[in-house]
Homo-oligomer: A and B are copies of this chain.
Amino acid sequence: MTPELLPFLGRAAVLQMLAFEAYSRIVADVPDLAIKDAVAQSAGAALSRHEGLVAEIRRRGDDPIEVMQPFADVAARLSGVITGEDWRESLLGAFVAFGLLDDFFIRLAEGLPGDFGPRAAQLLSTTTGEDATVRVLRAAIEQDRTLPSLLAMWGRRLVGDTLLVARAALHVTGNVENDELRIEPVLTELIAAHTRRMDELGLTS
């Protein structure tokens, strides 16, 4: 999978902005200070990755806003998909969807032309703040016995919807048929990583 560089950077940057928005919305909605602090770490990490990608676009002499603009609508659609009924669902939504999409973009980055591939993969692999989010979700799950089955169900819906977005994001190489042939093994990997994330929370995937 060899995506074109600029569309890749634009999509990845929009995605990180979206992750920032999703996490920071939870920070603003939750009254508990400890939860605010934990989730704010995830928001900050997404913002750092966004800024790294924007800096890369600028370094190439391109205008980040122009490069990101074509993907703003897809991103907004994803936002509707991952927002849950309460903050616990929304937090799982962000954790599951952006975990999956980050993995996907890291795989895409490996196919980038030039020396930027490894750098992009590294930039997207910084998972600062993820531990704090996992702790918050585990604590919520321990406090409410009805939550595991609810979140497990929500997680299954999320993964389906997120993969649809991932498929749309894949069509950046200009060769759709070729993409489709190559996506199968990647999907298997993504699902395996997703299953590990759900396991970490004590949820069935």
Contact = CB atoms under 8 A, between A and B. Distances in A.
Interface string A34-70: 1011001001100110110010000000001100110
Nearest to A21: B28
Contacts of A37: 17, 54, 64-65
A146 to B, nearest CB: 26
Main secondary structure of the interface of A (DSSP, over half): helix
Contacts of A69: 33
Interface string A11-30: 00010010011001101100
Interface of A: 14, 17, 20-21, 24-25, 27-28, 31, 33-34, 36-37, 40, 43-44, 47-48, 50-51, 54, 64-65, 68-69, 72, 76
Given A17-B36, A24-B43, A33-B65, 16 more contacts: A17-B37, A17-B40, A20-B24, A20-B40, A21-B24, A21-B27, A21-B28, A24-B24, A31-B72, A37-B54, A37-B65, A40-B47, A43-B47, A44-B44, A44-B47, A47-B47
